[in-house]
Amino acid sequence: MQKIEHIGIAVANIDEAEARYEKLLNTKSYKREEVASENVITSFFKIGESKIELVASTNEDGTIAKYIEKKGEGMHHIAYAVEDINAEVVRMISEGFQPISKEPKKGADNKMVFFFHPKSANGVLVELCQEIK
């Protein structure tokens, strides 16, 4: 693990949330990106070395919509930057963490991503991400 790449926040309405976080962080979102394979739209903010990702479902039965239905809006995941996502996935599975993804796939912000179940990480969804070069 290299560092925390970003913190993901589940939001119901991307426009409203983006406007609110532009005020909160006093900076504009640097990227808005839809990830069609996940049925989500994301908005990214950079503050110093840190990033915040707002994520909303683009359909009513998307995973983020279901999450918000159950738990409300809020912190959704912590994403860790890794150098070699395949090696890190193998390592974490061997340590007993429960994968959600089948294999790394292309996520938002030019990254390959892979998710581990919150049950195996004290209630926090874990995202691994590796920059696509």
Instruction: For the CB of residue 1, give the shortest distance to Zn ion in the complex, in Å.
Output: 15
Give the residue with the Cβ less far from Zn ion, 22 or 80. 80
With binding defined as CB under 5 A, does residue 38 bind Zn ion?
no
Which of 38, 53, 88, 109 forms a contact with Zn ion (CB under 5 A)?
Answer: 53
| Size of interface with Zn ion, in residues (CB under 5 A) | 4
Give the residue with the Cβ less far from Zn ion, 53 or 88. 53
With binding defined as CB under 5 A, does residue 79 bind Zn ion?
yes
- Positions in 110-129 near Zn ion (CB under 5 A): 127
**61, 103, 119 from 42: Cα distances, Å:** 17, 21, 24
With binding defined as CB under 5 A, does residue 5 bind Zn ion?
no
For the stretch 19-54, what's the b/e string if a residue is b when 16 or more beta carbons lie within 10 angstroms of its beta carbon? eebeeeeeeebeeeeebeebbbbbbbbeeeeebbbb
Give the residue with the Cβ less far from Zn ion, 16 or 108. 108
Helices (H), the chain: 14-25, 63-71, 85-94
Tokens (6 digits) for 91: 């390592």
